[in-house]
Amino acid sequence: MTSTTHEIEDEQQLFGPGWKGLALLGLLMVVGGFVAFLNPFAASLTVEFVAGAAFLIVGALQLWLAFTGRAGTSGDRWLSGALGLALVVLAISLIANPLAGLVTLTILVAMLFALMGGLRIALALNERPREGWGWLLASGAVSLALAVLIVLGLPAAAAGILGILLGIDLTMSGAATLGLAWNAWRHRHG
């Protein structure tokens, strides 16, 4: 093998599918993000359906493991089965009544923002003598403010907030992936 062959193999290990694959993935993610911004309600329903499907699969697997598993006590299997059943019931309720599922998931998102905000504020106060602790405090305050805005906007906020969050995530992830593609292209052609 020549040194050029090793360099190409090293680059493929470092950057995976190559710059073209990364660029295509990044572009698809950015376009998906913009589509989610154009119709946040449809994107929210998509998020809700995917969450319901994921809960259904995980719940069914949990039930299967509870009934086929040999390890643990019978009490452990009953608890595992109860968890699986709860996940299946949640999944069915999300899929059967998508609008109520949107409200449920939106409340969970608000709770997540509140928890993250509270933890960031606590961490910032703990780090207070260090430089930059204020940025962490501000980040926590923004997360708490988002949680309050979501709760105050219910139930109307449920129609679009998950789709907007999906749009933000897809757009930012796509931009980051495009950055990786650009870096891979520069590495190969630079």
Average pLDDT over residues 16-39: 91
Average pLDDT over residues 64-86: 84
Average pLDDT over residues 33-44: 95
Tell me the domain boundaries of the chain. 19-185
Q: Are 187 and 11 in contact (CB under 8 A)?
A: yes
What average pLDDT does the structure give for the chain? 87
Average pLDDT over residues 130-158: 91
Gyration radius from the chain CA atoms? 22
**DSSP per position, 105-130:** HHHHHHHHHHHHHHHHHHHHHHTTTS
Q: Burial code of 60-84, b = ≥16 C-beta within 10 A, e = fewer? A: eebbeebeeeeeeeeeebeebbebb
On the question of pLDDT at 15 being above 60, the answer is: no
Q: What percent of the chain has pLDDT over 90?
A: 63
* 159 dihedral zone (left: phi>0; alpha: psi -120 to 50; beta): alpha
So what's the pLDDT on residue 7? 52
CA–CA separation, 80 vs 66, rounded Å?
Answer: 6
Q: Which residue has the higher pLDDT, 14 or 49?
A: 49
Q: What's the pLDDT band for 73 if we cut at 50, 70, 90?
A: confident
The distance from CA 138 to its chain's CA centroid, rounded to whole angstroms, is: 22
Q: What's the pLDDT band for 189 if we cut at 50, 70, 90?
A: confident
So what's the pLDDT on residue 72? 67
So what's the pLDDT on residue 83? 93
Question: For the chain, first and last CA: distance in Å?
Answer: 22
Torsion of CA 128, 121, 33, 97, to 10 degrees: 170
Strands annotated E in the chain? none
Q: How many CA atoms lie within 13 A of 92 on its CB side?
A: 8
Residue type, 6: H
